[in-house]
């Protein structure tokens, strides 16, 4: 239940919190209110609706060869026999990609999407932001155990005193934050209000967050906080002296060999949303997963600290779910053994480390989240795992 509530809370954050993205198309409704036709039209073309910044790719492309055979999973769920096509049609899925040992076992597209089309990530971007924290640590620009105030001195004297960078990426700063999407007076609602008091010369979300009280000692309690994911984005930019897009290009897109430029949505101050809304191709979602599975190496170089991917994708703090589920560094740790990058409306990168298996799903769900939608996706992922285990698909 809590996971369901968190997903809905995150959905609310997209529409109202943290100095939302700036529309360039007049009269566009909230992204949460798009019709199925608008989702189909604009999810692959966010740059036609909102201000974005480009993440340039490099000259080489990391190969994702096709395996000798494609898997064709079928499974039982909700009293019905399902195929991949059934699942995609019933759940507004624009793309599924299955990679095993670096080779593609399944790649399908729906909703008119083509292989070169990008698709918005929603909160999958949080896991990329975490990865950029790791790159900055490797570059000697960030110290996980350093106080947040070292990099954001605007927070001195606030409830963030004593919180470290590590606490932020564990969602455990201890700062009081209400992400109740049903409450118009919650922080997630108020922080995006145009009338909310801000301070000249300070980014509005930083201004809002630094006026909040403390609710717990840093590092002791998980509390999902969309505002702080944007705060981490500011922190990375401050520490590296680069925009998040430029740093993502330098540390991931170019060295690892993404196939197409990505784009990253901007807030009203012109800064990338650290917690939301990158857009990339289906295969590049797979490459993000493979980059982490490969230990953060690219072009023979260690981009992330050698220990980073293991630490980022294991339980760092309990998140209210039954063990062994929990939260890492902006990665969800699931009770089926996967670690997930997850976004509303059906975006996910699920990785099973020991199986060297990555399952990517991009969707335009009719609702931001829901137990029925999540259960259907879990059934699909489980069916993929079973098909991979039984298929004759040599590496």
Tokens 């012109």 locate to 270
> Using 50, 70 and 90 to split pLDDT, how confident is the model at 21?
low
Cis amide linkage into residue 324, ω under 30° from 0: yes
Residues ≥6 apart with Cβ < 8 Å to 22: 50, 51, 266, 267, 268
Burial category of 102 from C-beta neighbours within 10 Å (exposed 0-12, middle 13-18, buried 19 and up): middle
Is-contact 292 313, C-beta < 8 A?
yes
Of 8-22, 28-42, 120-134, 206-220, which range is least confident? 8-22
Give me the torsion for CA of 47, 253, 65, 290, rounded to 10°. -110
Q: Is the pLDDT of residue 10 over 90?
A: no
Rounded Cα distance between 372 and 80, Å, is 14
Beta bridge partners of 349: 341, 360
Average pLDDT over residues 16-39: 77
Expressed in angstroms, the distance from the first to the final Cα of the chain is 39
* Relative orientation angle of helices 282-293 and 124-138, to the nearest 10 degrees: 40
**Could you tell me the CA-to-CA distances from 263 to 74, 100, 125 in Å, in that order?**
35, 27, 11
Is-contact 327 312, C-beta < 8 A?
no
Q: Is the pLDDT of residue 395 over 80?
A: no
> Using 50, 70 and 90 to split pLDDT, how confident is the model at 192?
low
Q: Is the pLDDT of residue 1 over 80?
A: no
Of 153-162, 209-218, 265-274, which range is least confident? 265-274
Please give the structure tokens belonging to residue 243: 């925009």
- Report the chain's mean pLDDT, rounded to a whole number: 90
Rounded Cα distance between 261 and 55, Å, is 5
Burial category of 38 from C-beta neighbours within 10 Å (exposed 0-12, middle 13-18, buried 19 and up): middle
Burial 232-269 (b: 16+ CB within 10 A, else e): bbbbbbbbbebbbbbbbbbbbbbbbbbbbbbbbbbbee
pLDDT at 18: 38
Residues ≥6 apart with Cβ < 8 Å to 290: 62, 64, 99, 102, 358
Q: Which helix (H) or strand (E) holds 382?
A: helix 371-390
Average pLDDT over residues 339-351: 97
Residues present in the chain in total? 395
- Can you say how many angstroms the Cα of residue 131 is from the centroid of all Cα atoms in its chain? 10
Is-contact 325 313, C-beta < 8 A?
no
pTM given for the model: 0.92
Average pLDDT over residues 354-361: 98
Rounded Cα distance between 168 and 142, Å, is 13
Are β-strands 93-100 and 357-363 bridged in parallel, bridged antiparallel, or unpaired?
A: antiparallel
Sign (positive/negative) of CA torsion 88, 354, 58, 251? positive
- CATH classification (class only), 2-390: alpha beta
Please give the structure tokens belonging to residue 386: 């079973």
């Amino acid at each position: 239940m809590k996971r369901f509530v968190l997903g809905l809370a995150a959905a609310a954050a997209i529409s109202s919190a943290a100095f939302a993205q700036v529309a360039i198309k007049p009269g566009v409704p909230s992204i949460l209110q798009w019709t199925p036709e608008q989702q189909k039209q604009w999810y692959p073309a966010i740059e036609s609706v909102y201000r974005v910044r480009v993440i340039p790719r490099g000259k080489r492309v990391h190969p994702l060869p096709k395996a000798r055979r494609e898997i064709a999973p079928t499974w039982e769920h909700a009293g019905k026999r399902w195929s991949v096509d059934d699942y995609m049609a019933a759940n507004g899925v624009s793309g599924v990609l299955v990679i095993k040992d670096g080779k593609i076992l399944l790649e399908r597209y729906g909703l008119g999407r083509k292989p070169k089309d990008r698709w918005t990530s929603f909160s999958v971007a949080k896991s990329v932001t975490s990865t950029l924290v790791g790159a900055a640590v490797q570059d000697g620009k960030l110290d996980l155990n350093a106080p947040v105030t070292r990099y954001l001195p605007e927070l001195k004297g606030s409830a963030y005193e004593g919180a470290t960078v590590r606490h932020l990426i564990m969602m455990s700063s201890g700062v009081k934050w209400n992400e109740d999407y049903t409450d118009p007076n919650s922080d997630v609602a108020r922080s995006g209000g145009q009338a909310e008091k801000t301070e000249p010369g300070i980014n509005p979300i930083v201004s809002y967050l630094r006026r909040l009280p403390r609710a717990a000692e840093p590092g002791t309690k998980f509390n999902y906080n969309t505002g702080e994911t944007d705060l981490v984005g500011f922190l990375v930019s401050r520490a590296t002296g680069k925009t998040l897009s430029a740093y993502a290009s330098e540390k991931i897109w170019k060295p690892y060999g993404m196939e197409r430029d990505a784009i990253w949505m901007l807030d009203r101050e012109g800064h990338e949303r650290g917690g939301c809304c990158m857009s990339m191709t289906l295969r590049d979602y797979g490459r993000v997963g493979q980059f982490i599975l490969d230990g953060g190496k690219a072009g023979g170089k260690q981009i992330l600290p050698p220990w980073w991917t293991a630490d980022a994708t294991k339980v760092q703090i309990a998140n209210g779910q039954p063990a062994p589920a929990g939260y890492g560094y902006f990665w969800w740790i699931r009770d089926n053994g996967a670690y997930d990058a997850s976004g509303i409306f059906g975006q996910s990168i699920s990785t099973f480390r020991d199986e060297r298996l990555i399952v990517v799903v991009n969707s335009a769900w009719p609702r931001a989240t829901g137990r029925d939608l999540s259960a259907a996706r879990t059934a699909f992922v489980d069916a993929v795992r079973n098909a991979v285990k039984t298929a004759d698909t040599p590496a």
